[in-house]
Amino acid sequence: MGLTLPDSAASHTLTREHVRLERCQRGDHVVAEIRLDRPDKDNALSMAMIERLGSIVEDLARDRTVRAVVVRANGPCFCTGGDISEWGGLTPHEMERDWLLRGSGVFGRLAALPQPVIAVIAGDALGGGLELAMAADLRLAVRSARFGCPEVTIGVIPGWMGTRRLAELIGPARARHLLLLGSPISATQAYDWGLVTATADDDAELERQLDVWLDRLLANAPVAMTLVKGIVSDLHEDVVQQHASAAAEAAATEDCREGVRAFLEKRLPVFRNR
C-alpha cells in the first residue's frame, strides 16, 4: 500500500467503532484504505460500524486528492455480515428504517464513490460481508476464502441490496444457488462465476495483485472512470425501498424469530412456514 502520509493527525488514521481510515501515498497519488477491525467478532457489522463507514464514504466522495479506495479487514474473516445481536430484536419497522435502509444507503454511496473501489478479501465474506464486497468495483480474494448468503438459514434475506447485486454480477441462476441453498462456495468457484475478479494463492500474492491493480487504476483518467461508475450505480436507485421492505417482511415472520433464537442458542432452527 505504500508509505503512510506523515502529519500531526497520525497519518490521517482515524480509529472509531472498529472501522479505520488511512490515506497512503503511492508515487504522486493518494490511495485511501478502509479497514474493518473487529476480528474477535469476525468483523460482524454493528450499526456504529455502518455509520462510521458512511461518514468515511462521504469524506472520500469530497476528497479529490484520493484516486482509489481499498476495503479490507483484519483477522481471519473479511466480514461475516450484520451483527445479529444488533438487529435480532428490532421490530419490522425498526428493521427497515434503522438497519436496512441505512445500510443500503451506505453501501450504495460506497458503490457510487467517484474513485474506483477494490475489496481485498483475505478471509470469508458471508451475508452482509459479501454485500459489502459486492459494493466494490473489483474483488480480489485469497483462494482459501469462502463466499455465501446464509440468511435463509435463519429466516431472513439479504437486506442491503445483496440479492439484486448478486444477480447482476453472476446471473439469476447462480444467484439462486447461493441465495436458496445458503451454503458458501469457494473463491475458485466465485472466480469462475464472476463474483470475484481475481484470486491469489496467499497473502503475499494478494498484495502483489493489489499493487498491479492500483498502478493500473492510478494511471487511468479519473474523470472517465467516475463517469463509468456513475452510469453503473444508477441501476440501483429505484429498488432500494423495495429491497428493504422485502427484507423487513421476512424479519417479521415467526420463522425469523425462531432462526435468530436458534442462532444465539447454537442449535438448528425449526421452521414452521409462518
Residues recognised as catalytic: 131, 151
- Assigned C-alpha cell, 221: 483518467
- The 10 Å Cβ neighbour count of residue 136 is 22
Mind giving me the DSSP string for 47-114? HHHHHHHHHHHHHHHH-TTEEEEEEEESSSEEE--B-HHHHTT--HHHIIIIIIHHHHHHHHHHHT-S
- The 10 Å Cβ neighbour count of residue 94 is 14
Is the distance from CB of 185 to CB of 147 less than 8 angstroms?
A: yes
- Assigned C-alpha cell, 68: 482509489
User: Which residue from 184, 68, 49 is spatially nearest to 119, judged by alpha carbons?
Assistant: 68
Residues sharing a CB contact under 8 Å with residue 163, sequence separation 6 or more, in sequence order: 157, 175, 179, 243
Residues sharing a CB contact under 8 Å with residue 24, sequence separation 6 or more, in sequence order: 1, 2, 3, 4, 5, 30, 31, 32, 33
What does DSSP say about strands 66-73 and 77-79: parallel, antiparallel, or unpaired? unpaired
